[in-house]
Amino acid sequence: MKRTWSILLLYLFVLVLISGCLSMQDNRNETEATQYLGIKLTPISEQGNNAIKGTQYIDKDTYILKIDGMVERPANFTYDQITTYTPVSKVINLNCVEGWSFTAKWTGVTVKTLLDKTGIKENATNVIFYSADGYSTSHDLGYLVDNNIMLAYRINDMTLPPDRGFPLQLVAEGKYGYKWAKWIDHIELVNSSYKGYWESRGYNNKGDFGGPPYEQ
C-alpha cells in the first residue's frame, strides 16, 4: 500500500516536472542568430538581468496585453494575435545607465500597428507601459509613432526568454535601458507626463541615450 502511494507520488512529480519544462522551453527548436546584416550580436547567455524583482514567468496561453486610456476602442490582445501582425526586425543596442550594454537583433510589432487597431483619441500625448513585476515607464506618443518603436517578442531569432522579458519588451531605440520595459501587460494612453519606476526615483524622464541620466 505504502509502495503504491510512493510510486503514484513519484509519477505525479515527474509529470509536473515534464509539463513545467515543456511550457518554459518554447524556443527549444530555434537557433540563435550570431550576426545580422554583418553586425555581430551579443549572445543571449551574455546579456544580464537586473530587473527590480527578478525574472517574471508569464503563461503564453493566458497572457493578455490590455491597451486602454485615450484610445477609441480599448482592446485586449492575445500572444497569438500580436505575433500575427506584420513583423519588423532591427539590430539595436540596449544601453543601461550603469554603463553596460549589449547588441541584439529584435523582432516584433510596432506600437503604431497596435494603436492603428485601437485608434488614438485626439488629445493623447503620452504612453505608459506597465509590466508584470510592477515596473512602469512612459514615452511621448510622437516618439513611438515617428520612430516605428517596436514591442519585441523575439531576440536574436529566438522567442524572448523569460529573463529577457517574455512575452514583450519595448525596444526604446535611442533611450537608456530603463525606458525599455520588459514583461509588458498593459499600455495606457494619457494626456499628461508620467514618471515610471526609475523616473520617480530621480532618473531623467526623457531618458535619451547620451543625455542627462538624472532629472535636473
Query: Rounded to whole angstroms, how far apart are CA atoms 206 and 209?
Result: 9
Measured from the CB atom, is 79 or 135 closer to ligand MTE?
Answer: 135
Burial profile 14-32: b = 16 or more Cβ within 10 angstroms, e = fewer: eeeeeeeeeeeebbeeeee
Q: Which residue is nearest to ligand MTE (CB)?
A: 177
Is there binding between residue 177 and Mo ion (CB under 5 A)?
yes
Burial class (CB in 10 A: 0-12, 13-18, 19+), 190: middle
106 binds, among Mo ion, ligand MTE, none (CB under 5 to 8 A by kind): none
Q: Which residue has the cell 530621480?
A: 202
Which stretch, 21-29, 37-45, 105-113, 171-179, contacts Mo ion (CB under 5 A)? Answer: 171-179
Nearer to ligand MTE, 92 or 120 (CB): 92
Q: What residues from 10 to 49 belong to the interface with Mo ion (CB under 5 A)?
A: none
49 binds, among Mo ion, ligand MTE, none (CB under 5 to 8 A by kind): ligand MTE
- What distance in Å separates the CA atoms of residue 127 and residue 43, rounded to the nearest whole number? 31
The maximal CA–CA distance of the chain, rounded, in angstroms, is 72
Alpha carbon of residue 31 to chain centroid: 20
* Residues forming a β-bridge with 175: 208
CB of 52 to Mo ion, least distance (A): 10
- From ligand MTE, Mo ion, none, which one binds at residue 181 (CB under 5 to 8 Å depending on kind)? ligand MTE
CB of 163 to ligand MTE, least distance (A): 7
Angle at 89 between CA 53 and CA 109, to 5 degrees: 65
With contacts defined by CB under 5 A, how many residues of the chain interact with Mo ion? 3
Binding track over 113-152 against Mo ion, x by CB under 5 A: ----------------------------------------
201 Cβ neighbours under 8 A, 6+ residues apart: none
Nearest to ligand MTE of 149, 181 (CB atom): 181
Residue 96 contacts Mo ion per CB under 5 A? yes
Q: What beta strand segments (E) does the chain contain?
A: 35-36, 39-40, 64-69, 75-78, 88-95, 101-110, 126-131, 136-140, 150-155, 158-159, 169-171, 184-190
**Shorter beta-carbon distance to ligand MTE: residue 29 or 45:** 45
The minimum distance between CB 102 and Mo ion, in angstroms, equals 12
**Where on the chain is the footprint of ligand MTE (CB under 6 A)?**
48-52, 94, 96, 131, 133, 135, 177-178, 180-183
